[in-house]
Structure 1
């Protein structure tokens, strides 16, 4: 399998993951368990961006493998820190998205890393850097969610004019 093929499969896996999260109300779980101040519009926009980034990384995988490895890094950070570890801390309370993180994300990550290593387009250091990039990508919307409550970032509300 090539890294490009694995990258496209990662987009498909992430898309199915989003469906699981939405179907089982990840928003309410995230607010209650991990205390993330997320609303449904945040979920929609963030996941639209994740899919757009996924398409871009799959298209660039052959010429820029680090971008594809950053996406799998995002998948790993998402699985670990937004599903598996919170489930453990919540004494097994189901995290919407955990099934696809386990059944689709982990194999997808393994396929991407294997393809990158076996074809020589990346080494272990590049994969580690991909995980770091993934962590930054995962942190970005979370940081923005927290910053928007600070007065500096709030915009004045005005009545709509006709």
Structure 2
């Protein structure tokens, strides 16, 4: 195959897409584009992927959808299909977010917790991909991992876990 298949969209699940869209707009600063009379939200993280020199490339960042588990669209059946409940007690999708240099993990985690998110871990370094990370579970059961690049010679701060 000369050209790979291309990922164009990822959906998070919610039983209230409008509330979830507002959550991510307030926590991450993403544009919240409510669609289909509130049955779906398209989150627009904004900006473009960066070139190696730090300038904006021509490639826009991916969008994220928030689908309503009660009737996920599109589907040929107007009533949708089961299951129609959130998976809050089992593994769900994980969304990895590179934290902007003009934001902070502490601000994001505090904003998420204030809006009902649950902290899963703080202050961890993963050598395999050379990055510092923290994670929370949003009120709808989706896991978000906040990522910061470790750099050429990362120094692991005291009190961080690592693997």
TM-score, normalised relative to structure 2: 0.31
Judging by fraction of residues, say which structure has more helix: 1
Judging by fraction of residues, say which structure has more strand: 2
